[in-house]
């Protein structure tokens, strides 16, 4: 960045110098030419006056004047265009001048001027011609620098100025670049909003701040999650080892062994479910879902889930009803399956004996939709926002009794984020619960 700023500053200076050089050349050229024109006109007037006063002895007068100003070329042309006198060359060797623009103009209008390279002298000349009273023409000319010659004349001075300016600019650019860069180098990325730097950096700093907060939140969540996981794993493991220890020590009557074994089996099963849920969730969390999206018939999928859950429903005498129609959604089948399964399983788990579970799958104007409604125990208002948090349970002891891990709805939430599905809950304590998935 430093090198780039410095380089661009130097480039700007070089460009400015070149533009200044061109402009200066043009100005100097035009000013010099303007002065030259005035000078020649004045000289011409003087000679004209002198000639008028001293009569027709033009040649003599012109000779004298020419002796005074060496740079001025004086030419006298008669009314036919023949050169009668030329201060710089032999007049007899000069061709007829009647067609020279300044002379033609002087014959016609009394005076005329032109700039061109002289065929006789080989320089760029400025010519000014005046018609005298007897019809002859007096022409004065002086060498005038061309634009290129003016530029060449200015080159040494401009080179000295340019070198001095470049050295100065290099030093200034170095100093200025260091000044601009310093606040950026001193940025405290850990506390981005504490930096009082350039306004232009504010969006970047805000983004970094948000990222930092997000990272902190994730770190905190991970910490809480590991603490929760350890706790959740420890409880069934303690029970299992406790029961096993009692059995090992022969403290259980033979007739009680099946009961103890069943307890061990249930706790072990809970552990397996818990570990499975943790694996599912961490996979969703890492966004390392490698599963391919495909067209999934949501109605078919929900029906399959209901079939799978029917033993649980029958055990509790929960009446399950599914309505609606086929609707196809492009998503990850396995995750959609987990989501619908968890909500339906909850609707049975947290239902009363002889309760109802009504499922509707169909298409709406806003896209595919699934509603899963039960008339079970419901979720009190104050808990509704939190049920999607990991390990959050409304009634911890009962949830465990019912075989819950507290991770089911977290899986639903993550699956919904992955698919951009809107999940909403309507529930009342003892008034049942309705989950809506808007795809």
Residues of this chain that interact with ligand ADP (CB under 6 A) are 342, 346-347, 350, 374, 376-379, 387, 392-395, 399, 404-410, 433
Q: How far is the CB of 400 from ligand ADP (least distance, A)?
A: 8
Q: How far is the CB of 406 from ligand ADP (least distance, A)?
A: 4
Cα(187)–Cα(254) distance, rounded to whole angstroms? 73
Which of 194/230 has CB closer to ligand ADP?
230
- Cβ atoms of 61 and 51 closer than 8 Å: yes
Q: How far is the CB of 426 from ligand ADP (least distance, A)?
A: 11
CA–CA–CA angle 348, 381, 408 (5° rounding): 40
Which of 61/374 has CB closer to ligand ADP?
374
Q: How far is the CB of 415 from ligand ADP (least distance, A)?
A: 12
Which of 331/376 has CB closer to ligand ADP?
376
Q: How would you list the strands of the sheet with 124-131, edge to edge? A: 83-86, 73-77, 137-143, 124-131, 111-117
Alpha helices in 249-395 (DSSP H): 257-285, 298-315, 333-349, 381-384
Q: How far is the CB of 432 from ligand ADP (least distance, A)?
A: 8
What is the chain's length?
439
Q: How far is the CB of 342 from ligand ADP (least distance, A)?
A: 6
Residue with tokens 């001095």: 164
Q: How far is the CB of 227 from ligand ADP (least distance, A)?
A: 18
| Residue 48: closest CA among 113, 125, 140 | 140
401: buried, middle or exposed (CB in 10 Å: 19+, 13-18, 0-12)?
Answer: exposed
Which of 120/228 has CB closer to ligand ADP?
228
Residue with tokens 């465990």: 400
Q: How far is the CB of 287 from ligand ADP (least distance, A)?
A: 20
Which of 208/394 has CB closer to ligand ADP?
394
Cα(1)–Cα(194) distance, rounded to whole angstroms? 23
Cα(171)–Cα(166) distance, rounded to whole angstroms? 8
24: buried, middle or exposed (CB in 10 Å: 19+, 13-18, 0-12)?
Answer: middle
Which of 86/345 has CB closer to ligand ADP?
345
Tally Cβ neighbours within 10 Å of residue 357: 24
Q: Which two tokens stand for residue 158?
A: 């401009």
| Residue 268: closest CA among 248, 239, 227 | 239
Helix (H) or strand (E) holding 8: helix 2-53
Q: Which two tokens stand for residue 374?
A: 């039960």
SS3 356: strand
Q: How far is CA 368 from the centre of its chain?
A: 36
Which of 61/277 has CB closer to ligand ADP?
277
Which of 131/393 has CB closer to ligand ADP?
393
Which of 241/282 has CB closer to ligand ADP?
282
Contacts of 53 (CB under 8 A, 6+ apart): none
For 374, list phi and psi in degrees, rounded to 5: -125, 165
Q: How far is the CB of 437 from ligand ADP (least distance, A)?
A: 14
Which of 327/407 has CB closer to ligand ADP?
407
């Amino acid at each position: 960045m430093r090198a780039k700023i410095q380089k661009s500053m130097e480039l700007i200076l070089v460009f400015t110098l070149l533009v200044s050089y061109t402009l200066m050349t043009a100005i100097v050229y035009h000013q010099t030419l303007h002065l030259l024109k005035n000078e020649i006109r004045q000289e011409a007037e003087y000679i004209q006056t002198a000639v008028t006063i001293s009569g027709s002895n033009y040649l003599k007068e012109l000779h004298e004047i020419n002796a005074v100003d060496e740079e001025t070329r004086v030419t006298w042309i008669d009314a036919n265009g023949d050169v009668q006198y030329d201060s710089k060359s032999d007049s007899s060797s000069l061709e007829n001048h009647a067609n020279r623009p300044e002379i033609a103009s002087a014959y016609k209008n009394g005076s005329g001027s032109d700039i061109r390279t002289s065929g006789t002298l080989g320089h760029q000349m400025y010519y000014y011609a005046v018609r005298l009273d007897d019809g002859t023409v007096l022409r004065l000319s002086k060498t005038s620098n061309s634009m290129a010659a003016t530029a060449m004349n200015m080159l040494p001075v401009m080179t000295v100025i340019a070198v001095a300016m470049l050295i100065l600019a290099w030093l200034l650019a170095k100093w200025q670049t260091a000044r601009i860069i310093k606040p950026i180098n001193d940025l405290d990325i850990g506390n981005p909003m504490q930096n009082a730097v350039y306004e232009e950096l504010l969006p970047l700093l805000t983004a970094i701040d948000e990222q930092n907060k997000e990272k902190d939140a994730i770190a905190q969540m991970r910490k809480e999650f590991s603490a929760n996981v350890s706790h959740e794993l420890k409880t069934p493991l303690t029970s299992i080892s406790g029961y096993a220890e009692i059995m090992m020590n022969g403290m259980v009557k033979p007739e009680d062994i099946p009961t103890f074994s069943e307890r061990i089996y249930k706790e072990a099963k809970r552990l397996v479910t818990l570990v499975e849920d943790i694996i599912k969730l961490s996979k969703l969390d890492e966004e390392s879902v490698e599963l391919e999206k495909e067209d999934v018939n949501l109605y078919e999928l929900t029906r399959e889930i209901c079939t799978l859950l029917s033993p649980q429903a029958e055990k509790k005498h929960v009446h399950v009803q599914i309505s609606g129609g086929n609707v196809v959604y492009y998503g990850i089948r396995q995750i959609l399956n987990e989501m619908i399964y968890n909500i339906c399983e909850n609707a049975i788990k947290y239902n009363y004996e002889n309760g109802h579970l009504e499922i509707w799958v169909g298409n709406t104007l806003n896209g595919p939709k699934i509603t899963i409604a039960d008339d079970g125990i419901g979720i009190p208002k104050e808990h509704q926002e939190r049920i999607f948090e990991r390990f959050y349970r409304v009634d911890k002891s009962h949830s465990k009794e019912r075989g819950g891990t507290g991770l089911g709805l977290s899986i639903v939430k993550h699956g919904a984020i992955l698919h951009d599905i809107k999940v909403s809950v309507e529930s009342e304590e003892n008034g049942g619960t309705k989950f809506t998935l808007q795809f």
